[in-house]
Structure 1
Amino acid sequence: MSRVYLPSLGPDSWQASLADPVKHWRVGYSARTLAHSWEKANGLPFEVAAMFEKPAELLVALPEHKVPLAGGQRDSQSDVFALIRFGEETCAATIEGKVNEPFGPTVGEWFANPSNGKRLRMRQICDLLGLDGVPPLDVRYQLMHRTASALLEARRFKTDEAAMIVHSFSPARMWFADFERFAGLFGMAARPDQSVAIVLNSGQRLRLGWATGNPEYLSQ
């Protein structure tokens, strides 16, 4: 994977980085909607900036950023990885764009009859998240590995905190209950358009947030 990133020429520049540039680039779906929202903001979208208690500034955004995890060749690919400055601190954030698409398989579905590679990956993720073992089977696995990716990149870039933010454009807030369930693993009470933060046993600070995007981008 190349470590060289080129400046974006607009929303269509994001399409080439998708796993399936044809199937995933559709009006009203998360990849295209997210691209238009972030490009129009020319920085942090207002609702994402609102996840931070202090004025927040986007330092760099990397669409479809891949983070290697243990136990296999398939990386965790975030819709956006963002380095964010807020006040005198910095944050490494993975952004998960959503419209009506679900968060993928549950832990129970993904970890059924696990291979050695899956066991190794689950152990790494649980260690990063500060979990004692495999979480309840109804938790969405995607939320786990996206958050683990943020924690890994926060260590790599030596930021003050890591964040996993769901940037949702669903008017009905579809799948918020799954996010709320995940936040509950850390004793967090999730609320739409607010963030919550804790310090993990590792000493890393973790922020989780659900940001409601502007629905006007669903038609672009």
Structure 2
Amino acid sequence: MKRIFVPTSTGADWQPLLAKPVTHWKPGASAMTAAAAWEAAGDALPPEIARILDSSREPFLVGQKLLLAIPEWQVALRGGTTNSSTDVLAICRNDFGLCILGVEAKVLEDFGPLVSSKRTDASAGQSERLAYLHSLLRVERFDDAIRYQLLHRTASALLTAREFHAGAAVMLVQAFDTPDAQRADFEAFRVALRAREIAPLTYKVDSFSGPCLYLAWCDGNVDFREVVLPSAPQFTSEKSSSML
């Protein structure tokens, strides 16, 4: 992915960036819901995210001003053949410096495959990536029952923070109507990382500094599940052509 970005005009501008622009762009699903929430926030963080960061009372997290939000941020990881795609990458700043916020949006979804499935019949590249993620996150061995997506999303936030020389990296789940089972998966992951609670639903991994590493869970505004955003023009044209 090129590191050249243009501002959005409407939420429909998010659709072409999706891995599956047609099937993933549906009212009530995570892609459209997140786009609606972030577009409504305009030049600021969504208010529920700002509140969860402020409640931490951590110098690196409080009073964050949004500088730039990039949908579907791609991060190359060692091993394998695909990049890790973060739903929203937010570059923020307060008086203590830059903070990188990697947001994983969820609506009634789980976090995908377990680590066990990545270990089973893994290719050389997949094994290399899994070993790399363990090394990067400083965990000797993640349990088979941990959700693999949480590893590479956290790694993406951390690596991006290093690239920008940010003081803090946050992997935050923005959950819209997400079942308790997914919270349990998040909790298991944060325990595996030895992340301690510093405020309700906000955790710090003490073994990291420069940047500091945080995990957070934020309940998104479910009203945005009812927002119906239009399709991008190229996909509207494709749909019209298929009906002829």
For this structure pair, what is the TM-score category when the shorter chain's length is used for normalisation?
over 0.9
Any stretches of 5+ residues in structure 2 without a counterpart?
228-244
2:183 is the alignment partner of 1:182: no
Among 68, 90, 102, which residue is 1:94 paired with? 102
**Partner residue, 2:38:** 38
For 1:124 and 1:173, locate their aligned partners in 2 and report how far apart those are by CA, in whole Å. 30
Identity %: 37
User: Quick check: 88-97 or 150-159, which moved more?
Assistant: 88-97
Any stretches of 5+ residues in structure 1 without a counterpart?
none
Structure with higher helix content: 2
**Partner residue, 2:218:** 211
For 1:78 and 1:190, locate their aligned partners in 2 and report how far apart those are by CA, in whole Å. 24
For 2:223 and 2:201, locate their aligned partners in 1 and report how far apart those are by CA, in whole Å. 21
**Partner residue, 2:171:** 164
Distance 1:123 1:162, change over 3 A: same
**Partner residue, 2:233:** none
Question: 1:190 Cα shift?
Answer: 5.8
**Partner residue, 1:117:** 125
Q: How does 1:1-220 map to 2 (within 5 A)?
A: 1-42=1-42, 43-52=44-53, 53=57, 54-132=62-140, 134-170=141-177, 172-188=179-195, 194-200=201-207, 204-220=211-227
For 1:200 and 1:212, locate their aligned partners in 2 and report how far apart those are by CA, in whole Å. 27
Provide TM-score, normalisation by structure 2: 0.84
Q: Which amino acid aligns with 2:119?
A: F
For 1:40 and 1:173, locate their aligned partners in 2 and report how far apart those are by CA, in whole Å. 27
Q: Which amino acid aligns with 1:98?
A: K
For 1:184 and 1:27, locate their aligned partners in 2 and report how far apart those are by CA, in whole Å. 34
Query: May I ask how many residue pairs the two structures share in their alignment?
Result: 219
* Matched position secondary structure for 2:48: helix
Find the structure with the greater CA-based Rg: 2
Contact 1:15–1:21 (CA<8 Å) still a contact in 2? yes
Q: Which amino acid aligns with 1:16?
A: P
Question: 1:39 Cα shift?
Answer: 0.5
Distance 1:79 1:192, change over 3 A: farther
Distance 1:191 1:202, change over 3 A: closer
* Matched position secondary structure for 1:118: helix
